C-alpha cells in the first residue's frame, strides 16, 4: 500500500530541537518532491517546507526559515525535518505530504502526522 | 503573500442536498500563459489527515466520487457536493499553489442538518 508514516514527535522545551522522519513505501520515492505541512491544535493547515526529488532544492515558509531544515535520504525512502530553536507557536501535528512529480506544490498523499508540543 | 478566505465557516446540509463552499484568493491564481488555476481542495475527516479532492481548480483526483466538483477562475472558486452523504462530514480546505508561501483557507466545516 502506498503510504507515508511519520515519527519523531514529542514534548520539547522552548529553544529545543527535534528531528521528524517520514518513511515512504510503495512508490518511487526519489521521483517525487516531498513536503511538510503542519496543523496547530484545532486550527487550519500551514505549508512548512518542500524538497525536490533529488534533494537539491528546498523551500521554506518564512515562519520557519533559518530554524527548520528539510532533507531526504532516497536510499532509505525517508524524508526528514530538523526543528531547531522551537517556539510555543510551533506546536502542531506535522504531516508529511507527497507532491506531484512536476513540483506543483499541491499534495496528493498525506501521512497520519506526528504531534510536536513545545512547552516548558 | 496570497490570503485564502473561505466561506462559510460552517454549514449544515440535509442528506441528499447540495453543499456549496466558497474560496476567495487575495490575488489571482490563474497562470494565464498556461490557462491553469493553481487551486486545490482537500477534505479532512475528524482524526484523519487531509485528502486531496480537486486540483487545477476543477480536476477530480482519482477515486473521488463525482458528486464532488470544483469550479471558478482567477480569485473566486467553489467546491460543490451535489448530494451530501453521511461520509462527507468533514472540514474542507482550499489551497493556492500559485506562489510561495502555499497558503490554505481557514476551512469550512460541513455537517448534517
What pLDDT sits at residue A25?
96
What pLDDT sits at residue A6?
98
What pLDDT sits at residue A13?
98
DSSP 3-state assignment of B33?
coil
CA distances (Å), origin B12, targets B20, B85, B86: 11, 12, 12
| Residue pLDDT, tens place only, A49-76 | 999 999 999 999 999 999 999 999 999 9
Query: Are the C-beta atoms of A88 and A119 separated by less than 8 Å?
Result: yes
| Residue pLDDT, tens place only, B87-102 | 999 999 999 999 999 9
A36 and chain B in contact, CB less than 8 A: no
Query: Are the C-beta atoms of A29 and B70 separated by less than 8 Å?
Result: no
**Mean pLDDT, range A79-102, rounded to an integer:** 97
State what percent of residues in chain B have pLDDT above 70: 100
How far apart CA B103 and CA B6 sit, in angstroms, is 12
**Mean pLDDT, range B98-113, rounded to an integer:** 97
Closest residue to B102, CB basis, from A44, A47, A110: A47
Contact A107 B52 (CB under 8 A): yes
Contact A95 B49 (CB under 8 A): yes
Amino acid at each position: 500500500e502506498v503510504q507515508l508514516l511519520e515519527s519523531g514527535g514529542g514534548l520539547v522545551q522552548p529553544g529545543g530541537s527535534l528531528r521528524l522522519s517520514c518513511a515512504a513505501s510503495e512508490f518511487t520515492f526519489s521521483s517525487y518532491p516531498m513536503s511538510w505541512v503542519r496543523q496547530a491544535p484545532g486550527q487550519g493547515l500551514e505549508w512548512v517546507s518542500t524538497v525536490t526529488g533529488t534533494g537539491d532544492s528546498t523551500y521554506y515558509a518564512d515562519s520557519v526559515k533559518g530554524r527548520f531544515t528539510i532533507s531526504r535520504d532516497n536510499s532509505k525512502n525517508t524524508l526528514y525535518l530538523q526543528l531547531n530553536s522551537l517556539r510555543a507557536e510551533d506546536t502542531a501535528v506535522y504531516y508529511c505530504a507527497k507532491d506531484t512529480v512536476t513540483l506543483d506544490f499541491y499534495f496528493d498523499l498525506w501521512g497520519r502526522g506526528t504531534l510536536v508540543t513545545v512547552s516548558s | 503573500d496570497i490570503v485564502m478566505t473561505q466561506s462559510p465557516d460552517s454549514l449544515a446540509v440535509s442528506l441528499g442536498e447540495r453543499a456549496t463552499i466558497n474560496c476567495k484568493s487575495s490575488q489571482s491564481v490563474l497562470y494565464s500563459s498556461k490557462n491553469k488555476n493553481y487551486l486545490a481542495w482537500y477534505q479532512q475527516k475528524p482524526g484523519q489527515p487531509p485528502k486531496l479532492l480537486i486540483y487545477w481548480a476543477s480536476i477530480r483526483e482519482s477515486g473521488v466520487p463525482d458528486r464532488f466538483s470544483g469550479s471558478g477562475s482567477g480569485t473566486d472558486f467553489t467546491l460543490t457536493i451535489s448530494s451530501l452523504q453521511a461520509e462527507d462530514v468533514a472540514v474542507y480546505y482550499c489551497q493556492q499553489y500559485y506562489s510561495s508561501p502555499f497558503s490554505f483557507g481557514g476551512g469550512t466545516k460541513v455537517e448534517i442538518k
